[in-house]
Chain A
Amino acid sequence: MSTELHRAPSAFETGSATALLRFATAGSVDDGKSTLVGRLLHDSKSILTDQLEAVTHASNRRGQEAPDLALLTDGLRAEREQGITIDVAYRYFATARRRFILADTPGHVQYTRNMVTGASTAELAVVLVDARNGVVEQTRRHAAVAALLRVPHLVLAVNKMDLVDYAEPVFAAIAEEFGRYAASLGVPDVTAVPISALAGDNVVEPSAHMDWYGGPTLLEHLESVPVGTDPGTEQARFPVQYVIRPQSGEHRDYRGYAGQLASGVLRTGDRVTVLPSGLTTTVAGIDVLGRETGVAWAPQSVTVRLADDIDVSRGDLIAAGEPTAPTQDVTATVSHLNERPLRVGDRVLLKHTTRTVRAIVKEIPYLIDIDTLAHVDSPDGLKVNDIGRVVLRTAEPLALDPYAANRRTGSFLLIDPTDGTTLTAGMAGESF
C-alpha cells in the first residue's frame, strides 16, 4: 500500500477521456474471489487510506492480524456476521487507461440469480478457479451463466498458482479444459491468466515466478479488451421512453421522442419503422441533450424528431434497417429470481424495453441444468435460481429481437401484477 500523499496525476486523472468497462466476477466461496477483488483495488491504488484504516480496525476487532481485504466488498451486517456475500456489490476503480465498474457476485450455488444479475450488464466476466482443484461444477456453472447472458468476453483466472509451485503444466491443463467447455457454449473470446491473488502475481503486477507465461496481467487485459460493441455493424433500435413537447415559447411546435439507442447508428434522413404499428417515416433531426447532431449511436441518450406526424408514444420502438416482426408469442430462456415459483397459467406483467404488457405463462417445457446443460422436465414450474424455457402469450404485440442478436431488445422481466415484485429475467430466442 502506497502511503504517499501526492503522486503525479495520471492521464485519466487529469480528465482526458477514458472508456468505461463493466465487468463481473464469479468464483466459488473458497476460490479467493474477495482477495482477488481486494488485490485489484489495492494494487491499482483504488483503496483509499480511510477505507483501509476502517478495514484494518474491523479486522483487528475480530482478532485478525492482517487487514482482511474481503471486508472492502462485504458491506451488509448480515454478511459480515456470516462471512459470506449475499448480493451483488458494485465496486469502482480507475487506472490511467480505463474506468471500471465491477459487479462482484457471490459464487455460492443458491445465488445463481445474483450471478445472472451481475452478468446482465457486464461486457466481460472473470471466472475464478483454484489451481489445486481445476475446473469444477461451479466453474462450469459460472461459464454457462456468462454464456447464457451473452457476456462477450470471458477470462479464466487460475488462482493460487503459488500453491502448485507456479507449475505451467497445471495451468495449461486447466486452461485447455476450460477453453473446450467455453467453446462448446459458444463464447467468442476466452483468455486464461495464471495468478496468485494473495501474493499478487499477474493481477496488477507481472509475476516474477511465471516466466513461462507471456500474456498480459489480469488488469492489463481488462485495460485493453474492446469496450462495448461496434454500433456500425448493428441494426438501429431506439425504444421511445418519453415524448418531449414544450408547447410554449420558441419551441412551441417541437415534438421529440426521447430515448437511449439500444443498438446501432441513427442518422438524419434514415428511413425508420415505428413498431408495433409498422408505420414508416424518416428521421428529421436528432438532438443530443441540448444540441442538434446529424448522427447518434448506442448507447447515447438522444431525442429523435420524425418527418411525418404519426402516432408515436412511450413503449414504441423506432427501428432502422430490417425491423423485427412484432409478436404476441414469446419463447425464451429465463432465470427465475424470486422465492415464489412460476407456473403454467400464471398471469404476469412483461416489461420489454419501455413497454410493459400483460402476459400468460403458456408452457414451461423444461428446466436447464446449468451444470450439465441437460434438459429436465419441469412439472412443477420454476423455483428460485432455476433456469428454464418458457412460452408466453402477451396481450399486445412486442418488437422482440433474439437476445443472441441484441441484449437490450431481446431481454425482458416478468413482474407480479399484484405487488410489483420482479419474478423472472428473460432472454428471447435460443439460449446456447
Chain B
Amino acid sequence: MTTAAESLSPSGYGNPYALSHLDALEAEAVHIFREVAGEFERPVILFSGGKDSIVMLHLALKAFWPAPVPFALLHVDTGHNFPEVLEYRDRVAARHGLRLHVASVQEFIDSGRLRERPDGLRNPLQTVPLLDGIESHRFDAVFGGGRRDEEKARAKERVFSLRDEFGAWDPRRQRPELWSLYNGRHAPGEHVRVFPLSNWTELDVWQYIERESVELPGIYYAHEREVFARDGMWLTAGDWGGPKEGETVERRLVRYRTVGDMSCTGAVDSAAATVADVVAEIAASRLTERGATRADDKVSEAAMEDRKREGYF
C-alpha cells in the first residue's frame, strides 16, 4: 500500500500535508464504513463481483485492519451471471472469512414468485429478491457501489439513503446531508442504503485499482469471446437467451467496462490487457460506462429514477 506521503501533490500551500484525490476519496469512504459499523446493528455489503463492489470490499478491509470486516456480503444472483464472476465471488468470500448470502432470481422464478419478462432482461427482477433478502436477514444498512457520476438521478443521491419498508426511495423524503455528519436513524422495518463511492468517478475507481493492485475477474481485461450484436452492444452467447434467429455469433477481442447480467451487459472492442491499458483507454473514451454497455438504463429518460422508487439500487 502507498501512503499519502508517497503520493503528495501540490495543494497550493506548498505544505507537506497534501493529499492526492485518491487519498482524499479513500479517507472519505473509510470514514463512511466506520460510521456504519458504529451506528448500525446488521450491515451488509451488496457484492456482485463487479469492480465497484470489489473496490468497496477492499476499502472495508483497510478500514477495519487488522480486525476482520464486521459485515456480511449479499449477492443478488440473476441466474445469468458470468461464471468467472461467480468463481471470483466465492473465492474472495472464502479468503477473507466473510459470510456470503445469495438471493436468487432463478429461485423466485422457479417458485412462481417472479415472472420472466418478455424481453428476457433479469436486472429489473432483482428488486424483489433483494428486498426479501434484506427483510429476512433484518439488514439495517446495505452498502451499494453506486456512484453519483453514473446517471442523472444518482447525482442527487445521498451517501446515507433512507428506504421505507418497501425499499422505496422518495427523493422528497431524503434528508439533507451536511459536512460529514451522516444521519442513519431509521424506524424498524426501514433500512438505509449507504454509498461509500458516491464521490468517485469511473476513472477514480480504475486508478485506485491500479494503485492498490486490486485483483479483478478476468473479463474486465481484453480476451477473446464468442459474442453477437444486439441493440448496438456485443452480448455473450449463452443459455440465457441469445443469439436469436438472425443474430450471428463471432469471435472478437473484447472486455467489459461494467459487469452485471449477461442479458444486459455488453462488451466493448478492446485490446486493453492490463489495468494501465484500461486506465488509458477510459481516459480517452468519449462514452460513459453505462452509455456504452448497459441496456437497462436506456429504457427511458427517467428509468433509473423510476427503479430507485421501486426499491432498486
Contacts and interface: CB of A to CB of B under 8 A. Distances in A.
Interface of A: 3-7, 9-10, 13-15, 17-20, 48-51, 54, 58, 72-78, 80, 87-92, 94, 98-99, 101, 113-114, 116-117, 120-121, 224-228, 230-232, 241-242, 244-246, 250-251, 254, 258-260, 265, 287-291, 293, 297-301, 303, 314, 337, 349, 351, 353-354, 407-408, 411-413, 415, 419-422, 425
B177 interface: yes
Interface in B275-313: 279-280, 283-288, 291-292, 301-302, 305
B149 A51 contact: no
B178 A48 contact: no
A2 B262 CA distance: 33
B137 interface: no
A7 B280 CA distance: 10
Contacts of B207: 15
Contacts of B5: 293
5 contacts: A14-B280, A90-B156, A91-B149, A114-B176, A244-B65
Interface stretch (B24-32, B42-50, B243-251): B24-32
Contacts of A116: 176, 178
A260 B180 contact: yes
Contact of A246 (B21, B66, B179, B199): B66
B288 A50 contact: yes
The 4 closest A-B pairs by CB, nearest first: A420-B185, A50-B291, A75-B152, A13-B283
Contacts of B198: 90
A3 B35 CA distance: 43
Contact of A121 (B16, B179, B185): B179
A19 B19 contact: yes
Given A92-B201, A300-B23, A420 B186 contact: yes
A267 to B, nearest CB: 12
B153 interface: yes
Nearest to A315: B38
Contacts, number: 239
B183 A297 contact: no
Contacts of B35: 241, 354
Contact of B1 (A73, A289, A314): A289
Contacts of B19: 19-20, 228, 299-300
Interface in B214-259: none
Contacts of A13: 203, 279-280, 283-284
A230 B18 CA distance: 8
Interface in B168-215: 171, 174-181, 183, 185-187, 198-199, 201, 203-204, 207, 210-211
Nearest to A2: B286
A116 B1 CA distance: 37
B176 A19 contact: no
Contacts of A87: 156, 171, 174
Interface stretch (B7-15, B71-79, B107-115): B7-15
B213 to A, nearest CB: 13
Contacts of A98: 21
Contacts of A101: 199
A413 B16 CA distance: 33
A314 B3 contact: no
A76 B156 contact: yes
Contacts of B3: 288, 291, 293
Given A288-B4, A354-B38, A420-B186, A18 B181 contact: no
A120 B179 contact: yes
B17 A230 contact: yes
A153 B66 CA distance: 40
Contacts of B302: 77
B155 interface: yes
Which of A10, A50, A54, A408 gathers the greatest number of chain B CB atoms within 10 Å? A50
A14 B247 CA distance: 38
A17 B11 contact: no
Contacts of A299: 19, 24, 27-28
Given A258-B34, A260-B180, 10 more contacts: A4-B286, A18-B9, A18-B21, A19-B21, A50-B292, A73-B152, A121-B180, A232-B16, A241-B37, A260-B34
A265 B5 CA distance: 13
Interface residues of B, number: 81
A20 to B, nearest CB: 4
Contacts of A75: 151-156, 305
Which of A20, A314, A407 gathers the greatest number of chain B CB atoms within 10 Å? A20
B308 to A, nearest CB: 10
Contacts of A265: 17
A228 B14 CA distance: 12
B85 interface: no
Nearest to B301: A58
A88 B179 CA distance: 14
A413 B287 contact: no
A241 B31 contact: yes
A244 B67 contact: yes
Nearest to B208: A15
B27 to A, nearest CB: 4
A301 B284 CA distance: 32
B9 A246 contact: no
A241 B38 contact: yes
A90 to B, nearest CB: 5
A14 B66 CA distance: 32
B124 interface: no
B22 interface: yes
Given A244-B64, A411-B181, A412-B181, A19 B27 contact: no
B53 interface: no
A350 to B, nearest CB: 11
B152 A232 contact: no
Given A15-B210, A76-B305, A90-B199, A301 B177 contact: no
Nearest to A353: B181
B270 interface: no
Contact of A297 (B17, B21, B199, B283): B17
